[in-house]
Structure 1
């Protein structure tokens, strides 16, 4: 579709393969990751997020729901993320529970690399599916 959608797909492939060195090579020197926690500058921020979730959910999968190219340098992807909680996640001991969460990921490309990444998902839903919080 575009350079941005191709690079974004490669990013998800590298996360699925847990290839953190390959992922680091996709990040621009001025890379910034943004999620509900706020802006986190530097490739280490993106690597930490990928490593945290791939470690906690070793069977992590990404089902693409839609991909939009916004010119050649921006891609928006809506996906369903699934995985089994087999290792610690933010202090939550492994539960063996499966999760499924909708995610929106937006990347901006500069010089053929990911310059900005924004990710939106319902963390409350993840915690509820893990049994870490309840609706009551």
Structure 2
């Protein structure tokens, strides 16, 4: 029987032909890393494509399904804020009739947008 030294020397001179567990693990890890990298590149490409399709208006307000609702909420918010500001201005200045009338216009725009939002929601709810 050969000594341990001879067996080690033989392994150094003639590497084993069978893959070891370490080689198998490295190979499996490499293929998994390549798969993940390909998946990340595909997802990045898809996100870049969607951003290009949306443009700056779509990035700001969302897709065509949600843009009208987002714009409606912006109009409601600005109308309510404007009406409140105009009523405060009417209170602080002497011309209450003029500024109150302008506040009613802003409130009318806000309530119209609010009616659109809730009307749109009930229309979408009935179609399902």
Give the TM-score band, short-chain normalised. Answer: under 0.3
Give 1 or 2: higher strand fraction. 1
Higher relative contact order (CA 8 A, sep 6+): 1
Bigger-Rg structure (1/2): 2
- TM-score, normalised with respect to structure 2: 0.22
- TM-score, normalised with respect to structure 1: 0.21
